[in-house]
Amino acid sequence: MKGDDAGSQQPKPEHGSASFLRPHPMPFLKGGRLAITRTRKYLESGRIILQDSVKVITIHHVPGKKISKGCDELIKWFLPPLQFKNPKVQILTLKNMCPTPFIQVFLNNQEELVIDCSYRTHVDINKHLNEVLGTSLHSTVSSTMDILNVNHPGNFGTKYQRQCICEVYGQVPCSSQVGRSGPWPGQEPQLPVVDGLTNQKGQDANEPKDSTA
């Protein structure tokens, strides 16, 4: 019996043989962490559209340090969509250059902006960037569209050149300023007869009678 048991045992596969290799438990992650953050759908999900004045952004971080954990996560998850949505902005990452993490922004008017990232979460840093440097999602086309809307002669209101259409030549004057003219004789509106409100002639019962009649 011992001999049969010994003969029935199969030898263990050697390391490197075909039977030793097993399929990856998650085949869609064969590319590592870049398998998700480099997909087109993920890159298009970015919600920060930087202002036109932003030209260069440098992210200083210290990999592996607790003080720079939020900045490292920002580079891992939010930097690829930010670069994809803003192709005209140069974004650089510099590591181990300074003892504390921070973001330095260079504007087109030779001004600089520094954002401290020490002990901050990546969500907090990303929200700060959106509030300081981002544009509104409702006006992401360009600032020139707002100028065209203001200069358009067909718009009226407090934000435009004309507040009311009565300011245009040839239009009827505004009734709030001039007052409404009375009806022509014989064309007065005939109101329905209502007890206590109108008389048989269709006139308002509370209207004072003409003394000359």
- Count CB neighbours of 87 within 10 A: 7
Whether 129 has a pLDDT exceeding 80, the answer reads: yes
pLDDT band with cut points at 50, 70 and 90 for residue 16: very low
Q: What is the pLDDT of residue 64?
A: 92
Distance CA 7, CA 39 (A): 52
Whether 74 has a pLDDT exceeding 60, the answer reads: yes
DSSP states of 83-125? HHH-TTSEEEEEESSSSS-EEEEEETTS-EEEEE-TT--HHHH
Whether 80 has a pLDDT exceeding 80, the answer reads: yes
Number of H helices, E strands in the chain: 7, 4
Two tokens, residue 62:
């210290």
Q: Where are the domains of the chain?
A: 34-135, 139-170
Q: Which CATH architecture has domain 34-135?
A: 3-Layer(aba) Sandwich (3.40)
Whether 190 has a pLDDT exceeding 80, the answer reads: no
Q: What is the pLDDT of residue 206?
A: 56
Helix (H/G/I), strand (E/B), else coil: 196: coil
Distance CA 82, CA 65 (A): 24
pLDDT band with cut points at 50, 70 and 90 for residue 201: low
Residue type, 93: T
Half-sphere exposure of 188 (CA within 13 A, CB side): 9
Average pLDDT over residues 90-117: 95
- Entry pTM: 0.52
Q: What's the whole-number average pLDDT of the chain?
A: 77
Q: What is the pLDDT of residue 4?
A: 52
pLDDT band with cut points at 50, 70 and 90 for residue 58: very high
DSSP state of 157: S
43 versus 157: the higher-pLDDT residue is 43
Q: What is the pLDDT of residue 18?
A: 45
